[in-house]
Chain A
Amino acid sequence: MYVVVAGGGKVGANVARSLLRLGHEVTLIEQRRDRFDRLEDEFEHQVQRGDATELFVLEHAGLARPPDIVLALTGDDEDNMVICQLAKEKYGAPKVIARVNDPRNQAHFDLLGISPTVCATSSIMALVEHEVPEHDLIHLLELRKENLEIVEVQIDRDSPSAGKRVEGLDLPEGARLISVMREGKAEIAVGSTMLEPGDQVLAILEPGKEDELRRVLLRH
């Protein structure tokens, strides 16, 4: 397999090294002189110096072949987006993977159809939400393409939603309750479903509506 790796920082260099160990053909692109000099000692002709958003740099790295996959792993999200667009649309690379540095830019990658993406911050945050037990809103599933996520919430005795019907809740736009689990039995949430303390509720919502949902269901 032929892989082009854009960005020779910690992530890019480690990925390139791992791919080489697996026997793949790799070209690593790094713009910074100081980094390039260090990488050259290890990667020799398999690292090239240049701005991976410049067409002649990409062509020199063999983008026109095209590679089986292009990895945009620089520390700059705009650069990663442009690298992926060029790789896919100009050179016809069949697959790209992009690194997202700032999770707030995830929406831009999605908007431009760049997928899959990897964001260390989001991965860590998702794990924190799963692992920390007192956290009141658990992320179960992220439907990235649909820009929706499914979360689980436990209703307590003092939750403002306890003792109310679903239709009586002032749910934020972009959030719906899916089901209510009570004493081991799940039920689809409809307008007349009454919420009770101890209920485990599944909700589907647009990312960013968590706080509003939390306020309606859990906080006074």
Chain B
Amino acid sequence: MKALVIGCGRVGSSIAVQLQSEGWDVVVVDENEDALSRLGDHWPGAFLVGHGIDTDLLREAGIEEADAVIASTDGDNTNIVIGEVAQKRFDVKCVVVRVLDPARAEFYAARGMRTVCPTQTAIDSLAQIVRAEAPGVRATA
């Protein structure tokens, strides 16, 4: 199984390392070559430097044979466009896109994009803890 991870920050690098250890063939793309150091001392997979919406680069990274694409750059809109291109142009089966803004995450999820919104997850978890541990307060909703 082949995965493309675009954006090698904390999230992207961790996913790449995990998938690779589970036997996936992983190609990582980042604009900054220093990001390679996040993948540890002996990254056995491929690492390409460039912008994630560059079609030539995506082809070079093997998007045409990819089973999964994970868009995890630090730009919501860049991730969204990568997701659209991976889904609509290259017909990748599993496309997951990180979107920090809950409003945009919801909009694109409703259009059929698989979005993950860490901000919304944090909001939900924090609120849940407060509700559980402050028993005197009742939810009004």
Chain A positions within 8 Å of B, measured between CB atoms, are 53-56, 76-79, 81-82, 86, 89-90, 104-105, 107-108, 111-112
Contacts and interface: CB of A to CB of B under 8 A. Distances in A.
B124 interface: no
A54 B53 contact: no
5 contacts: A78-B78, A78-B80, A104-B56, A111-B84, A112-B84
B53 A55 contact: no
B81 A53 contact: no
A126 B39 CA distance: 44
A205 B103 CA distance: 41
Interface of B: 53-56, 75-78, 80-81, 84-85, 88-89, 101, 103-104, 107, 111
A100 to B, nearest CB: 12
Contacts of A89: 111
A90 to B, nearest CB: 6
A82 B80 contact: yes
Contacts of A90: 107
A70 B77 CA distance: 18
B54 A82 contact: no
Contacts of B56: 104
A53 B81 CA distance: 13
Q: Is the interface of B mostly helix, strand, loop or mixed?
A: helix
A117 to B, nearest CB: 14
A111 B77 contact: no
B89 A111 contact: yes
Nearest to B77: A78
Nearest to A89: B111
Given A105-B53, A111-B85, A82 B77 contact: yes
Nearest to B102: A55
Contact of A81 (B77, B89, B104, B107): B77
A82 B104 contact: yes
A82 B101 CA distance: 13
A70 B56 CA distance: 30
A111 B88 contact: yes
Contacts of A54: 101, 103-104
B73 to A, nearest CB: 10
Closest 5 CB pairs of A and B: A78-B77, A55-B103, A82-B77, A78-B81, A78-B78
A113 to B, nearest CB: 10
A55 B75 contact: no
B77 A53 contact: yes
Which of A76, A78, A82, A111 has most B Cβ within 10 Å?
A78
B80 to A, nearest CB: 6
Nearest to A56: B103
Nearest to A81: B81
Contact of A107 (B55, B77, B80): B55
A55 B101 CA distance: 9
